[in-house]
């Protein structure tokens, strides 16, 4: 926020958005907590102290990291780090408070990190200015924080919808004129956060100082340091790891309460307070609409997720008024049993034997089906113009795209060793390149009306502490967060890990609910699990099912082979029974390559699979 002659000038609005920070294999290691401030000013804008004095204060107060965020100014941090930084002890990170205005109201957003200076983008309304600035900061690859929305009573809940794509909302700002608590008919900032979350906008809550007056720490009428902070969880202290944790929501915000642990899965949220002997604590679990779901006074406290909460977050208040906030766990309603099947039956597009998409779609229509899982297309389709062209083909043929499959360049399924070496995120040096392609697939899926993007993540190491495991987890978290902002679900295809391993992996991802594209035959081909048993571990996450069958490998370490549905060991009848009992309502996708081995017509094999489904009761 800009301060001038003792008053805060009302006249700026900014918005921010970025692609989540990228995973780095070298960040693997035990996770630790790092405390930092995301909003700080110096003499380079309207603070009262030099950057050196500002950084020195936070270093001496045992903060681990600091963002300098001067107004419309990216204060250089290289020299400051040369003096003050210490490995795994303290770090200054580049930032900028993009300071804009719209309709006479101030809207300020921080770009944390980023690769370029971003000037304010303007707009006729607050919501428009938010959208424009979010897009600009996203292009600069910064983590985005919407700052003090009640400063100047600038942002309503409807205005904040224009900030979709931002990563953070300041739910506590330490400046004395920002109206955190609301009043006079205006909601509190925490209530605005709940409004955004309840509207399906995934955004995390931050606390900050918005420090301007380092030289007046005693005055309650000054923007003092030490008023609010975030504590990120990361393997090491680096700009990349801090930005990644902020973008992924792996942190808590605080004005004084300290947490020793936060564990969030799809099933439960557990909070452990680092208690002070003189204080007492109340832990509230909060869901959609700001409703208090449960209240506890003993730590650790756990909330068991029922499945209808929308989201679950925790608010911890001590007896002296200090607060900590955890980030929301986003909840997808669980399937309920239905009186009769509503499942669409579709085809994996490549299995038609047609290379061109239009003849392939027409071939699906000739089978009496109207649903496809879109397989790899020529690169030109992964652009706005190409996606519009493919959407036109869907309309012309009366076909619905249920999901999009991402097939990475360089992948090969020739044998098990090659799969380990080439598929998914297991080749760590290709993670960046493959994430970029996945973002194009997500954008394409949204443009053609498909709500799901699915892919193989590759062979997962057994040990969650393995560096490759952590890098793969960071990569899936990255793309899940990006897809959620586009209203698209990431769904991992089964195959290279057991159902229990996959469920444990997915439980670690809380930025968005990641689904499962259940392929029972793959579990047989790789010889890793009994499909019906694997299904029980991931049942609540299944978004679609591959209708495919296979035989087990002949020798250990080899791969099995695909056969016609009903002629293999994929336990299709039992899997179908389990799915029906759970009320599964997703698509059944026929993926069938047996024509290659049998030298038969691919369309005949698709007809066989369709008939098999009909006799199976679908």
pLDDT digits (tens, 9 = 90+) for 440-492: 999 999 999 999 999 999 999 999 999 999 999 999 999 998 898 888 999 99
pLDDT digits (tens, 9 = 90+) for 572-612: 999 999 999 999 999 999 998 888 888 889 999 999 999 99
376 and 451 assigned to the same domain: yes
493 and 455 assigned to the same domain: yes
Confidence of residue 339 (pLDDT cuts 50, 70, 90): very low
In a domain, 157, yes or no: yes
In a domain, 293, yes or no: yes
pLDDT value for 8 = 30
237 and 264 assigned to the same domain: no
pLDDT value for 308 = 85
pTM beyond cutoff 0.75: no
pLDDT digits (tens, 9 = 90+) for 283-305: 999 999 999 999 999 999 999 99
| CATH at residue 8 | 3.20.20.140
In a domain, 286, yes or no: yes
* Chain centroid, CA 108 distance in Å: 24
Among 307, 331, 355, give the residue marking a domain's end: 331
Q: What stretch of H or E contains 246?
A: helix 239-248
169 and 38 assigned to the same domain: yes
Bridge partners, residue 531, by sequence: none
In a domain, 340, yes or no: no
63 and 197 assigned to the same domain: yes
Average pLDDT value for residue range 611-616: 88
465 and 574 assigned to the same domain: yes
- Whether the CA torsion 431, 138, 510, 520 is positive or negative: it is negative
pLDDT value for 367 = 95
**Measuring CA to CA, which residue among 487, 492, 495 is closest to residue 475?**
492
In a domain, 395, yes or no: yes
Phi-psi region of 62 (alpha: psi -120 to 50; beta: other; left: phi over 0): left
Asked if the model's pLDDT at residue 150 lies above 60, the reply is: yes
Alpha-carbon distance 110 to 7, whole Å? 21
pLDDT digits (tens, 9 = 90+) for 526-573: 999 999 999 999 999 999 999 999 999 988 778 999 999 999 999 999
Alpha-carbon distance 14 to 8, whole Å? 16
pLDDT digits (tens, 9 = 90+) for 347-371: 999 999 999 999 999 999 999 999 9
Question: What percentage of the chain reaches a pLDDT higher than 90?
Answer: 79
Query: Any residues with CB less than 8 A from the CB of 169 and at least 6 apart, and which?
Result: 145, 146, 149, 160, 163, 189, 192, 193, 196, 203, 204, 205, 206
Q: For the chain, give me the number of helices (H) and strands (E)?
A: 17, 29
**CB-side neighbour CA atoms (13 Å) of 402:** 25
| CATH at residue 269 | 2.60.40.730
Average pLDDT value for residue range 173-202: 93
| Domain limits for position 306 | 257-331
321 and 354 assigned to the same domain: no
Count of structural domains, the chain: 3
String of DSSP letters for 352-394 = GS-SSHHHHHHHHHHTT--EEEE----GGGSSHHHHHHHHHHH
Alpha-carbon distance 21 to 498, whole Å? 29
In a domain, 165, yes or no: yes
pLDDT value for 332 = 64
Among 239, 255, 271, give the residue marking a domain's end: 255
295 and 407 assigned to the same domain: no
Query: Any residues with CB less than 8 A from the CB of 138 and at least 6 apart, and which?
Result: 16, 17, 18, 19, 144, 165
pLDDT digits (tens, 9 = 90+) for 54-86: 999 999 999 999 999 999 999 999 999 999 999
């Amino acid at each position: 926020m800009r301060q001038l002659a003792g008053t805060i000038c009302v006249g700026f609005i900014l918005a921010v958005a970025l692609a989540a920070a990228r995973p780095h294999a070298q960040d693997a290691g035990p996770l630790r907590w790092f405390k930092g401030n995301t909003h700080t000013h110096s003499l380079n804008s309207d603070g009262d102290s030099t950057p050196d004095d500002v950084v020195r204060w936070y270093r001496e107060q045992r903060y681990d990291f600091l963002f300098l965020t001067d107004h419309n100014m990216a204060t250089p941090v290289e020299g400051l780090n040369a003096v003050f930084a210490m490995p795994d002890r303290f770090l200054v990170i580049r930032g900028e408070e993009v300071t804009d205005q719209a309709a006479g109201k101030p809207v300020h957003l921080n770009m944390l990190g980023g690769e370029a200076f971003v000037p304010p983008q303007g707009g006729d309304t607050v919501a428009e200015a938010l959208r424009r600035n979010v897009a600009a900061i996203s292009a600069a690859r910064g983590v985005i924080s919407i700052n003090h929305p009640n400063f100047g009573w600038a942002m309503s809940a409807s205005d904040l919808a224009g900030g979709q794509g931002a990563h953070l909302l300041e739910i506590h700002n330490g400046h004395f004129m920002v109206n955190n608590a609301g009043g006079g008919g205006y909601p509190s900032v925490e209530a605005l956060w709940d409004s955004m979350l309840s509207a399906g906008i995934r955004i995390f809550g931050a606390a900050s100082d918005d420090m301007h007056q380092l030289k007046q720490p005693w005055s309650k009428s000054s923007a003092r340091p030490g008023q609010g902070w975030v504590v990120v969880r990361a393997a090491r202290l680096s700009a990349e790891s801090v930005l990644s944790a902020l973008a992924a929501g792996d942190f808590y915000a605080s004005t004084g309460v300290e947490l020793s642990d936060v564990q969030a899965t799809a099933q439960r949220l557990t909070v452990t307070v680092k208690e002070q002997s003189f204080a007492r604590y109340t832990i509230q679990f909060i869901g959609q609409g700001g409703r208090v779901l449960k209240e506890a006074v003993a730590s650790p406290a756990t909330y068991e997720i029922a499945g209808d909460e929308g989201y679950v977050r925790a608010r911890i208040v001590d007896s002296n008024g200090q607060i900590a906030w955890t980030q929301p766990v986003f909840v997808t309603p669980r399937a309920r049993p239905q009186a009769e099947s509503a499942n669409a039956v579709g085809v994996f597009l490549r299995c038609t034997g047609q290379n061109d998409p239009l003849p392939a779609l027409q071939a699906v229509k000739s089978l009496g089906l109207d649903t496809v899982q879109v397989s790899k297309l020529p690169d030109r389709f992964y652009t706005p113009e190409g996606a519009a062209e493919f959407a036109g083909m869907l309309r012309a043929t009366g076909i619905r795209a249920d999901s999009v499959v991402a097939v990475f360049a360089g992948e090969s399924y020739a044998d098990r060793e090659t799969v380990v070496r080439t598929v998914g995120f297991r080749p760590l040096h290709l993670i960046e390149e493959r994430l970029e392609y996945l973002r194009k697939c997500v954008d394409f899926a949204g443009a053609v009306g498909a709500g799901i993007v699915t892919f193989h993540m590759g062979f997962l190491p057994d040990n969650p502490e393995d560096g490759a495991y952590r890098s793969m987890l960071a990569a899936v978290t990255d793309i899940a967060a990006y897809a959620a902002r586009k209203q698209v679900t990431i769904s991992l295809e089964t195959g290279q890990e057991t159902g229990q391993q996959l469920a444990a992996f997915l439980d670690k991802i809380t930025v968005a609910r990641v689904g499962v594209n259940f392929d029972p035959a793959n579990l047989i081909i790789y010889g890793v699990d009994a499909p019906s048993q694997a299904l029980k571990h991931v049942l609540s996450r299944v978004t679609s099912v591959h209708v495919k069958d296979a035989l087990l490998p002949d020798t250990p370490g080899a791969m099995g082979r695909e056969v016609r549905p009903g002629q293999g060991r994929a336990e299709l009848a039992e899997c179908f029974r389990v799915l029906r009992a759970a009320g599964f309502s997703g698509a059944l996708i026929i993926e069938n390559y047996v024509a290659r081995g049998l030298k038969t017509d691919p369309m005949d094999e698709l007809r066989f699979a369709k008939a098999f489904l009909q006799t199976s009761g679908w």
